[in-house]
Each structure stands twice: as C-alpha cells, then as structure tokens.
Amino acid sequence: METEVKLTKLASCAGCGAKVGAGTLVQMLEGFRTHSDPRLIVGYDKSDDACVYVLDRETALVQTTDFFPPIVDDSYLFGQIAAANALSDVYAMGGEPKLALNLLCLADRMEPHTVQEILRGGYDKVYEAGAIIAGGHTIQGAEPIYGLAVTGFVHPDRVLTNAAARPGDVLLLTKPLGVGILTTAAKAGLVEQAVLDRLYRQMSALNKTARDIMVKYPVHSCTDVTGFALLGHSYEMAQGSGCSIRLNTAGIPFHPETYEMAEMGFIPAGAYRNRDYAGAGVKKGPGVTRAMEDICYDPQTSGGLLIALPEGAAEECLSELRERIPQAAVVGRVEERGEYAVYLD
C-alpha cells in the first residue's frame, strides 16, 4: 500500500547505501580501550557481522543490530527488507536467530497506518525466521528508520567468522549483485517494475535457507555481502584471514540490467565510500571494465552469503544451494597472501 508521502522521499539515503564507510568506522573506534573477556570470542575489533559470547560448552550467544532508511515506498515491504537484513548477520555467523527488538525512528509526516505496516512487515519476517520480536524502542527524528537488534544462538565450536578462510578454499555467493545501482537508477524512472519486483523479492528473502545448507558442510569462513559490497566484504575476509582472495568476474552473478545502468553512471554514493575503503588493497585485472568494478563496489541491501569452504566440498554444497537458490555461484578462490588483499580478474 502506498503512503500519501512516499517513504523514500522522506530519506536522504536508501537501505544499506546509508551505511557509514568502513574506513570512517575504523577512525571513529581508533584508540578506544578494549575490555577483554575470555567468553567474548568475536567482538567489534574483528570487523565481523556480529559479536559472539560463550554461555556454556554447548551454547554461544550471537548479537547484532542493523537498521536503515527506506529503500522502497511500500511500508510492509520496507519492514520485511529491514528485518531480513538484520537477521542476516546471525545467519552469517552460522547461528539461528531467536529474539529481536524493534528499532524505529518516525518522521513527522508518517501516518499511523504506515508505521503499523512497517512493524507488521518486520514481525512477519521475524516469525518466518522462527524468532520472536519481544519489544523495542521508538523515537522521533528527521527521517524514517527501521531495523532490529537480534539475538541468536550457535554452538561455540561451530561459529563462523569472516576471518578464517584458508588458501585453496572456494568462494560461493548466494544472491546476485546490483541492488544499489538499480535502486539508484529507479529514482530516475529507468528501471521497469518487473525488475524492481525481482529486487524486492531478493531483498526480502531470508538467508536462512543458505545458512541451513552451508552448516552441513566444512565451511571455514562466512560473511554476508551488504553495505560494504562484494569487494569491501572480500577485502575484510582476506585481511582477517591473512590470505588473498581472487574474484572471477565471469562467475559473479548480478542482475543483467545492472551493467547498462552502471555504464550510464547510476552509482550510489556508498559505492564510492567502498572504493575509498578497499581500493588500495584491490588489484583490478586488465580485462575488468569500470562498470564491472562498480558493480563489485555496489552496496547491497540484504545481500547474500559469501561462503569459503574447501574445494572438495564446494561442488556438493553449490549443487544443494542451487536446488533452492538457483543464482548461487562460485565467485572466486582463496590464495596464499600476495601483494594485494583482493585480485579482481
């Protein structure tokens, strides 16, 4: 249902494109004294998707939060996308979400029905994940914002981080790229509704299926590809793992309409922030076009999982993923550390 004042008109940024650049975050946190606790096995110092705190030998708590301004005008759909995006960080750690808290900022011109539909979208998506919304917090502000604080659980021995990839691993990606570029082009009326509907289905889809499949295999490392883009998240995985990552652009899935829009220059601001952050650590091959490079720097909202696992298990894992997620693909490999963190071929 459309609101009288379109949600996206109330926000200056959209979705994960509003994310503060990773380089800026590093500067903000620099110099902070970090308190240690042996039970905190993943903290903010790891640049990972969520923190992990060991409760006992069988259970570790996974906590994360994520919120952003509207990327769509449909209130219910916005709630679904924001919730799916927040839940994704728990899935990326190999965990299962169980509890969530609403985080909501109301703009002055939002109608009560609009707010109700945002919350209903979030509730329905959390319920689909098998979790419960147990409360939350709401404030007034200049722009609408919605998201969740999420708590999940995982066995301490089965925690997946973005810093454990090993040379020889194959990299799988479970959702195609192009969300940021296409939603930017849509503002100029250049994207057909059928394409947008495809994007909306993708953004509102949970990474639960991908998580449930990948944990059957000896996965070494995982992260979800969101605001820092494929190249930004690959860069963090390579840095954290002490390896290099080689991405093969011929295998990277992206929405086919994205390339033309990238060539026309419909690049979101977040892509430039991602380039500033990771660019010095990325070596682009001579055959990689600027448009393809922009696609790899494009911030994704509720993107897919980037999974690193041994070559011997990758084919079977990919085959099972494709039964449920047809666009899952091999996008690269992990190598011994080279001069650059990421090679884009």
Whether domain 7-158 has CATH 3.30.1330.10:
yes
State the pLDDT confidence band at 48, using cuts at 50, 70 and 90. Answer: confident
Best CA proximity match to 61, nearest among 45, 46, 84, 43: 43
Identify the CATH number of the domain defined by range 170-344.
3.90.650.10
**For residue 320, what are its two tokens?**
């099972």
Instruction: Work out the mean pLDDT of the chain and round it to a whole number.
Output: 91
28 contacts 53 by C-beta, under 8 angstroms: no
pLDDT value for 5: 53
Please state, in angstroms and rounded to a whole number, the distance separating the CA atoms of residues 13 and 54: 36
Please state, in angstroms and rounded to a whole number, the distance separating the CA atoms of residues 45 and 173: 25
User: Whole-prediction pTM value?
Assistant: 0.90
Residue 317 known to be catalytic: no
State the pLDDT confidence band at 337, using cuts at 50, 70 and 90. Answer: very high
40 contacts 52 by C-beta, under 8 angstroms: yes
Instruction: Choose, from 16, 51, 222, 296, the residue flagged as catalytic.
Output: 16
Provide the residue type at 128 as one letter: E
SS3 for 80-104, per residue?
HHHHHHHHHHHHHCCCEEEEEEEEE
Which regions of the chain carry the CATH code 3.90.650.10? 170-344
Best CA proximity match to 309, nearest among 224, 234, 217, 238: 217
* Secondary structure (3-state) at 223: strand
pLDDT, tens digit, 9 for 90 and up, residues 244-303: 999 999 999 999 999 999 999 999 999 999 999 999 999 999 999 999 999 999 999 999
State the pLDDT confidence band at 3, using cuts at 50, 70 and 90. Answer: very low
Which regions of the chain carry the CATH code 3.30.1330.10? 7-158
Which residue is listed with tokens 């570790």?
Answer: 60
pLDDT, tens digit, 9 for 90 and up, residues 95-126: 999 999 999 999 887 889 999 999 999 999 99
State the pLDDT confidence band at 28, using cuts at 50, 70 and 90. Answer: low
